[in-house]
Amino acid sequence: MSYDDQNIFAKILRGEIPCKKIYEDNFVLSFYDINPQKKIHALVIPKGKYVDLDDFTLKASPEEMVGLFKGINIVAKKLGISSEVGKGYRAIANISDHGGQEVPHLHFHLFGGESVGKLVG
Ligand code: AMP
């Protein structure tokens, strides 16, 4: 799938649509999900134009890859949900059709602020 510049996260990145920003650096933007599924539900997206995790893995530079994963850790610390403070959270990325992805710009969901339970079972 080619990248759609009109997807909602592309518009947020361009500042055309507002978001409740948590963190931003050269590689990532993080903001609260508009429809939270847990006490804390944050999204972390790369600034580059990547449709999903497969696209990112194939095309992103090593710096962008490090930047994304460091970004997730920074956001978790900022939100007070990181394992370093004894909490923890779930990080998931839905990928394409069978993965249930709705917005075609790679994003990680961070669920926390409470026990999020088992994913399966
Ligand atoms: P996914 O199903 O993995 O593509 O998740 C897309 C997520 O984006 C959903 O959890 C939506 O609630 C969230 N979302 C959609 N539009 C916005 C928006 N304008 N600001 C923040 N989150 C959004």
The domain segmentation of the chain, as residue ranges, is 8-112
CB within 8 A of 84, min separation 6: which ones? 77
pTM of the entire predicted model: 0.97
CA-to-CA dists, residue 18 to 11, 42, 110, angstroms: 9, 15, 20
CA-to-CA dists, residue 33 to 44, 79, 111, angstroms: 10, 14, 10
* Ligand 1 touching residue 92 (CB < 6 A): no
113 by Cβ neighbours in 10 Å (0-12 / 13-18 / 19+) ranks as middle
**Tokens of residue 30, six digits:** 């993080």
Question: What confidence score (pLDDT) does residue 22 get?
Answer: 98
* Ligand 1 touching residue 91 (CB < 6 A): no
Q: How far, in Å, CA of 116 to CA of 100, rounded?
A: 19
* Ligand 1 touching residue 85 (CB < 6 A): no
Which residue owns the Cα nearest ligand 1 atom 13?
33
Question: What confidence score (pLDDT) does residue 119 get?
Answer: 85
- Determine the number of helices (DSSP H) and then strands (DSSP E) in the chain: 3, 5
Give the domain 8-112 fold: HIT family, subunit A (3.30.428)
Question: What confidence score (pLDDT) does residue 2 get?
Answer: 94
The yes-or-no answer on residue 105 being catalytic is no
Cβ-contact 90, 110 below 8 angstroms: yes
Under-70 pLDDT residues of the chain: 121
Question: What confidence score (pLDDT) does residue 121 get?
Answer: 63
- Provide the phi-psi class of 13: left if phi over 0, else alpha when psi is between -120 and 50, else beta: alpha
Q: How far, in Å, CA of 75 to CA of 5, rounded?
A: 25
